[in-house]
Amino acid sequence: DSPKRDSRVVVIGLGRFGSSLAMKLVEQGCEVLALDSRPHIVQQLSDDLTHTAVADSTDPQALRQLGVLDFGRAVVAIGTDLEASILTTSLLSDFGIPNIWAKAVSRQHGRILERVGAHRVVLPEHDMGERVAHLVTGRMLDYIEFEDNYALVKTRVPMLAVNRPLGETKVRSQYGVTVVGVKRPGEEFTYATAETVLNEGDIIIVSGRDRDVEHFANLE
């Protein structure tokens, strides 16, 4: 696949998720074809998105005519209409689109989308709900969890880690976490090393097992 083909994305369903995604892709320099069955939605977005069309994505003929088969990537951003979401995903799979992403509203929906050919399924509301749960109760400023309970967290530096080089603190040996980066007020993020001395008020990026980073981030 040429890079050009890779940077062409068809986005189907221009609700809140699909339209934000399509606009960000355009901002990143991708060539985006954005489709929705509701004319007024397409109309509203046509100034910001270069290629838009009104189409029912469950109609294979319509997709063919719009040249969807030439795209290397597709995102099915239809949520509420399960039937349309599933049918569209399976059509794209029949077309042989090499990289199909699909948005699901539940785990069950996600499983069906994988069955009918989605290569990657995202659960934005579910994932964001879990992420916010980590943030509302503690001191963390941001929280990203990967597989196998590994997490990356943005937080304020706890007192036990200030005014000494990181290598001399017990951050890694006792708390099992690694300080990856530091942001001082008014400065940009820099990587942390064993010699880095953190100050009160610094913002840090910490990685490690989810339980460990959470515990560490919530220390005074």
Q: Is 80 in the site for ligand ADP (CB under 6 A)?
A: yes
Task: Give residue 67's region: left, alpha or beta (phi > 0; psi -120 to 50).
Answer: left
Question: What DSSP designation does 157 have?
Answer: P
Q: Is 38 in the site for ligand ADP (CB under 6 A)?
A: yes
Q: Which of 7, 15, 23, 126 binds ligand ADP (CB under 6 A)?
A: 15
Angstrom distance (rounded) from CA 156 to CA 200: 8
Q: Is 84 in the site for ligand ADP (CB under 6 A)?
A: yes
What is the torsion angle, in degrees rounded to the nearest 10, for the CA atoms of residue 95, residue 97, residue 103 and residue 105? 30
**Terminal-residue alpha carbon distance, the chain:** 51
Query: Of the ranges 43-51, 55-63, 110-118, 209-217, which one interacts with ligand ADP (CB under 6 A)?
Result: 55-63
For ligand ADP, which is the closer residue by CB, 49 or 205?
A: 49
Q: Which of 41, 166, 177, 217 binds ligand ADP (CB under 6 A)?
A: 41
Q: Is 16 in the site for ligand ADP (CB under 6 A)?
A: yes
Q: Is 17 in the site for ligand ADP (CB under 6 A)?
A: yes
From 123, 66, 128, 57, select the one nearest 90 (Cα to Cα): 57
List interacting residues with ligand ADP (CB under 6 A): 12-18, 35-38, 41, 56-58, 78-81, 84
